[in-house]
Structure 1
């Protein structure tokens, strides 16, 4: 029997971001900084695919907002919006109650499970978002996260005929006559939509995010995969995450949905009601295993359920490792009776 590629001792919590970890959208600090009407911006974004279709252009609705942000920069509505500025604005993101402390708590709880340290069990947090990587990088939760998949921008793309081996910082190069603000984001480097999130799940599953030599599209035995789906929990807020929820459920992983629970204002109460109805539909349709409020404080229903599920997964890994140890290690010699 060949030696497996990975010991499969990792538990992965994979998180959506907007509405899952934070009450609203991560772009809100951008709108406040530049005094942009956020409701008007999102109305325009929602209208973009239909507008473009009138001219025979098909625009993906999940990533339309990235282009619209660049349009705002191009027209001087968001001057100086660089990647560094996005990271700085990410520091203003407010999280749901109990975060980011919960990210640390679950790792501490895992260490208390019998034999977890003996078999070197680890818990890793990943964020998979259609939002902006730089803002997540600058947020308070970043020190607790093991990996991020999110959309990214380029500020100053290399010009035609550029030297691939050049080491000059292109973000610092003046571009006379450039169409875009030379000190701002100008192109989309990578865009994540709700379907491409599933690729990130397979990268975590196969370990291609930690080992460059592993191609996510390569065929791989289940026993060689770094994080089996049964050791993964995907946490998100709604119907837009159905592709990722489906991958988890079909592959033996755990899918958990959260709903907004803030009832401080009339608008918040209405948002909470609609959010609860959404996750209940997901449960009735068999999309998720369970759901709870987006509250991660100790002893909240969501914190309790996720900790319970982590313990169950950990105990399953420990039981498998004990059985493997028993099967591979022979019994010690004993004295025979005369």
Structure 2
């Protein structure tokens, strides 16, 4: 029997994983735009244009070039590159309506039915900034970009770079209960589907755009549920997201409003109810 980093609690019948992108999904815009980019004296357009232009010039990954620009820009302004400085930036990040209360409410809804809800981040943003947000404690694991730090605690090189395609690796890690980013053994080991801590069918992926499409499509195709969210204050955003349903890439589209009674609140609870009934029916089938 494979031993996993976490085990099922006997008080729960099974586990559901709610997996979120961060930028544009739980928070409007990009996390660097709240504090870091203004601190280095650039406009949002200037910073992203520089990072993306560097990627085009060098034929490089855009995630790696934005991380390089963060280090270069901070150094040029004499700003701290310590983990604590990035976490401090995270304290400035604003969240969509209802996000702060969302986790406790959904956890309670699952627990009342004997279901454990685990929340994960799967983001191309910076892990250190997410760690500084007021909701960081809600997540079982934050899979995101991060830096290597030298003996003085100064960021000097990317440790993890998460782009739109390699995001999918973390779906498989969650499926098999592998929480270490560096682990490449257990995640590639054959494990029967019924022994995996979180089957794909019990995953709900929430994302906001093109970088999430591979993950949303993967979860949907394996029997889980994918939800595309959009900023309700952004004109035309709903129409753009609706095309993802037409293209068979997601199951649902909702505004990024996580307050009680909102569309996504009702939808996620319905999915939990469905998975609850599916498990009960499956048990009856095995009995008879």
2: CA distance, partners of 1:65 / 1:252: 34
Check if 1:108 corresponds to 2:82: no
Alignment match, 2:19: 14
Select the residue among 233, 241, 244 that pairs with 2:204.
233
- Give the alignment of 1:1-338 within 5 angstroms: 9-28=14-33, 29-52=35-58, 58-74=59-75, 76-77=76-77, 79-113=79-113, 116=114, 121-156=115-150, 170-171=151-152, 184-209=154-179, 215-262=186-233, 271-273=234-236, 275-321=237-283, 324=286, 326=287
Contact 1:89-1:135 at 8 Å conserved across structures: yes
Runs of 4+ in 1 over 3 A off after TM superposition: 2-8, 318-324
Following superposition, the deviation at residue 314 of structure 1 comes to 2.4
Contact 1:205-1:229 at 8 Å conserved across structures: yes
Q: Which has the higher helix share?
A: 2
Q: Deviations over 1:120-174 (max 9, x none)?
A: x211000000111111111111121111101111232xxxxxxxxxxxxx116xx
Secondary structure of residue in 1 paired with 2:19: strand
Q: Deviations over 1:19-77 (max 9, x none)?
A: 0000111111212333321111011122122222xxxxx30123321111122134x13
1: CA distance, partners of 2:147 / 2:281: 45
1: CA distance, partners of 2:49 / 2:145: 21
Larger Rg: 1
Following superposition, the deviation at residue 232 of structure 1 comes to 0.3
Distance 1:85 1:321, change over 3 A: farther
The alignment covers a number of residue pairs equal to: 280
1: CA distance, partners of 2:155 / 2:239: 38
Secondary structure of residue in 2 paired with 1:130: strand
The answer for unaligned runs of 5 or more in structure 2 is: none
The answer for unaligned runs of 5 or more in structure 1 is: 53-57, 157-169, 173-183, 263-270, 328-338
C-alpha RMSD of the superposition: 2.4
Secondary structure of residue in 1 paired with 2:62: coil
Contact 2:71-2:81 at 8 Å conserved across structures: no
Q: Deviations over 1:243-278 (max 9, x none)?
A: 11121122111111001102xxxxxxxx331x2232
Contact 2:123-2:143 at 8 Å conserved across structures: yes
